[in-house]
């Protein structure tokens, strides 16, 4: 049904609007049932809003759920009998009971199992079919529909806590986990995937087989973070999922590295999505999962001899780039910038331990450059050094970073031209800062993590400090130079 022409789309909508299975008698019964369900849902929401949260936590069932699996997502209520089923178990119920009409509880749209589509109940019902048409075709309302929309239109103001701006409780030295969750939750590219129910326990083979799936637990976290609840959230399911992961060393209540936790989550998402969609590596790309589509890029590593021009090139995939920092010179009050760090990363460097050139026996040099850029670029600053007593001491060098970062000077093409003495006229490649993870403290073992995030829907910066969420200014975000630990940039398109 994708890529329908406008004429075909309109004709198809009219065709589905007139469901052939809706006789006058069935319509009347369905409308009465639909009104009753609507009143029930309104009463349920009103009563739930009056119940204290500590009481709700002790209630086994807080609302409608699937009669087969107990799932709370994408529920449909039969218009023929008081039966509730999730999307996965609705077909078996319809087949067994010859019930073909149901209503989707979140949107109150009527679904016909025989048409395999969402349908009109009468001419005033504007519950058009969105699956297959709404995302690909453009709906143009008729005069009658436009009048109905104007008559019943309501101004809706979504409060900030309903837009993902929700604090996270510290469960015992878990600030490292809170900041990374906020980075994922408040990324529009990531929330698009999770909030459209593309991965959930009901369609995950890992969860169905009793295996641990980090992606499923992150899906639950996304749902809770975008709920209307104002109170801080406790991501217990995700934390226990990380603990149960056999390859994870993040278990326990001692302080952990936010960058390491970020890498563990990416690996968990990669495994979950690869299993869910049965993905395989193809061609030069390591994987076609969402993680690699958003964070995946490629580095070019050139090993060359400047005397005889011998060169070998290797492509290295990456999900994040770690940048070294110079030590602080307190006498000069010195600092550096993220551009200087990237330039140092891409500079020619001698490799004293590398084998000599096979042609002329001279020392080889290495140069890194970015060959393929990701949609989301994570820059990790190496702020911790391993000491003799196994303590990871912090490097407190001030690092300045801009809101807009031009990555063109660090791409393979411009670097090769510069190395060959050619003029580079490449256009700027702009990335915009959307998140900064901060580490406050003198070592890994006794520090605290906070983060600044540019909220996509409100276009404001916010500071997240565990359960506390507050507005932040741009100067506050960019002035945090000695604490910045991870920088997240999104490509400007």
pLDDT in tens, 237-269: 888 888 877 556 777 777 889 999 999 899 888
Closest CA to 128 of 155, 149, 158: 149
476-to-302, 479, 483 alpha-carbon distances in Å: 39, 5, 12
Contact 453, 435 (CB under 8 A): yes
Per-residue pLDDT, 309? 77
Residue 383 and residue 334: Cα distance in Å, rounded?
Answer: 16
Q: Is the separation of the CB atoms in 492 and 380 below 8 Å? A: no
| Residue 149 CA neighbour count, 13 Å, CB half | 9
Q: What is the pLDDT of residues 51-62, one digit of tens each?
A: 444 433 333 334
Residues in the chain: 493
pTM, 2 dp: 0.66
Q: How far apart are CA 183 and CA 464, in angstroms?
A: 10
Position 1 scores a pLDDT of: 36
**Tokens of residue 334, six digits:** 């010195």
What mean pLDDT is reported for the chain?
A: 76
| Alpha-carbon span 365 to 358, nearest angstrom | 13
- Sign of dihedral through CA atoms 112, 114, 116, 117? negative
Higher pLDDT, 475 or 138: 475
Q: pLDDT grade, residue 367 (50/70/90)?
A: confident
What does the pLDDT average to over 378-390?
83
> Distance from first CA to last CA of the chain, Å, rounded?
28
Q: Is the pLDDT higher at 375 or at 125?
A: 375
CA angle, 131 as apex, 126 and 132 as ends, to 5°? 115
Cα distance between residue 305 and residue 362, in whole Å: 7
> What confidence score (pLDDT) does residue 370 get?
93
Average pLDDT, stretch 411-431? 88
pLDDT given for residue 112 in this prediction: 83
Q: Which two tokens stand for residue 32?
A: 């009465």
- SS3 for 287? coil
215-230: average pLDDT? 82
Q: Which of 49, 52, 447 is nearest to 256 (CA)?
A: 447
Which region among 72-86, 175-189, 313-327, 450-464 has the lowest average model confidence (pLDDT)?
Answer: 72-86
Q: How far is the C-alpha of 120 from the C-alpha of 106, rounded, in Å?
A: 17
């Amino acid at each position: 049904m994708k890529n329908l022409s406008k004429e075909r789309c309109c004709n198809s909508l009219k065709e589905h609007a007139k469901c052939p299975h809706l006789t006058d008698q069935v319509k009347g019964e369905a409308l009465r049932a639909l009104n009753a369900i609507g009143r029930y849902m309104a009463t349920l929401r009103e009563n739930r809003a009056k119940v204290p949260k500590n009481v709700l936590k002790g209630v086994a069932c807080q609302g409608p759920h699937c009669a087969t699996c107990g799932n709370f997502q994408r529920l449909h209520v039969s218009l023929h009998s008081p039966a509730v089923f999730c999307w996965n178990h609705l077909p078996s119920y319809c087949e067994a009971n010859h019930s073909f009409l149901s209503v989707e509880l979140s949107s109150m749209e009527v679904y016909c199992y025989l048409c395999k589509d969402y349908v009109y109940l009468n001419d005033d019902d504007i519950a058009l079919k969105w699956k297959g048409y709404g995302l690909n075709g453009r709906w143009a309302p008729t005069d009658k529909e436009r009048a109905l929309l104007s008559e019943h239109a309501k101004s809706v103001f979504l409060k900030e806590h309903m837009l993902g701006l929700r604090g996270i409780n510290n469960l015992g030295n878990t600030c490292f986990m809170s900041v990374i969750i906020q980075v994922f939750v408040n990324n529009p590219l990531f929330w698009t995937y999770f909030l459209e129910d593309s991965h959930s326990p009901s369609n995950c083979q890992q969860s169905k087989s009793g295996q641990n799936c980090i992606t499923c637990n992150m899906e639950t976290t996304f749902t809770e973070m975008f709920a209307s609840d104002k109170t801080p959230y406790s991501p217990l399911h995700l934390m226990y999922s990380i603990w149960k992961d056999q390859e994870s060393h993040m278990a326990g209540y001692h302080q952990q590295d936010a960058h390491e936790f970020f890498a563990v989550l990416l690996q968990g998402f990669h495994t979950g999505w690869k299993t869910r969609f049965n993905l395989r590596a193809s061609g030069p790309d390591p994987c076609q999962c969402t993680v690699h589509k958003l964070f995946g890029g490629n580095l070019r590593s050139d090993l060359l001899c400047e005397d005889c021009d011998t060169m070998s090139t290797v492509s290295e995939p990456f999900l994040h780039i770690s940048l070294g920092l110079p030590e602080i010179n307190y006498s000069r009050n010195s600092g550096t910038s993220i551009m200087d760090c990237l330039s140092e990363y891409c500079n020619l460097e001698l490799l004293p331990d590398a084998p000599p050139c096979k042609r002329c026996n001279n020392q080889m040099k290495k140069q890194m450059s970015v060959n393929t850029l990701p949609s989301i670029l994570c820059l990790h600053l190496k702020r911790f050094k391993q000491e003799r007593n196994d303590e990871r001491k912090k490097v407190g060098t001030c690092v300045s970073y801009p809101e807009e970062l031009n990555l063109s000077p660090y791409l393979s093409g411009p670097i090769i031209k510069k190395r060959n003495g050619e003029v580079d006229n490449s256009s700027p490649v702009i990335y915009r800062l959307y998140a900064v993870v901060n580490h406050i403290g003198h070592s890994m073992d006794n520090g605290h993590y906070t983060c600044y995030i540019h909220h996509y829907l409100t276009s404001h910066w916010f500071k997240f400090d565990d359960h506390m969420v507050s507005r932040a200014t741009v100067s506050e975000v960019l002035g945090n130079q000695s604490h910045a630990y991870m920088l997240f940039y999104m490509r400007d398109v």
